[in-house]
Amino acid sequence: MPVSKKEISPCPIDAMLSVIDGRWKGTILWRLSERPLRTSELRRSIPGITERMLIRHLQELVRDGILVRHQEQTVPPCVRYSISKYGLTLVPVLEVICAWGRNHLKRTSGHGREWSQAAQPHRNVL
């Protein structure tokens, strides 16, 4: 029987995927794994994402406890996002997924080099 996206599956893989499911969530997490970013900085670092989709994914990741939203009491308000302590436990998973994706892109198209290098933060990945 299929499980609704709103239900939590007892399968650990489904549970993990339900948190990072979404076209841009992996990229958002990857960018924030380097350092906290303001919403506008994050949007500029992800070509193709709309502001609406970015905000939606950020809200979901905050709700799931993966990200922390910091709002400074300035005019205009400045909002920064960072990975929570709990969210940091996803970083090694993202590194493995990125390495697998890089190999898959090479295997299937040979056109993955530009993105994989651009997506790689300033640290060694597998």
The one-digit pLDDT tens for each residue of the chain (126 residues) are: 444 455 667 888 888 888 888 889 999 999 999 999 999 999 999 999 999 999 999 999 999 999 999 998 888 889 999 999 999 999 999 899 989 999 999 888 855 455 545 555 544 444
pTM of the model: 0.76
- Bond from prior residue into 77 cis (ω within 30 degrees of 0): no
Nearest to 67 by CA among 55, 56, 78, 82: 82
How many Cα atoms sit within 13 Å of 12 on the Cβ side?
0
Could you give the 3-state DSSP secondary structure of residue 44? helix
Residue keyed to tokens 């994989």: 116
Q: Looking at residue 103, what is its pLDDT?
A: 92
pLDDT at 6: 58
The fold adopted by the segment(s) 12-119 is: Arc Repressor Mutant, subunit A (1.10.10)
Length of the chain (residues): 126
Nearest to 126 by CA among 96, 89, 105: 96
Alpha-carbon dihedral angle through residues 61, 77, 47, 87, given to the nearest 10 degrees:
-20
Indicate the Cα dihedral angle 45, 118, 68, 89, nearest 10°.
170
pLDDT of residue 115: 52
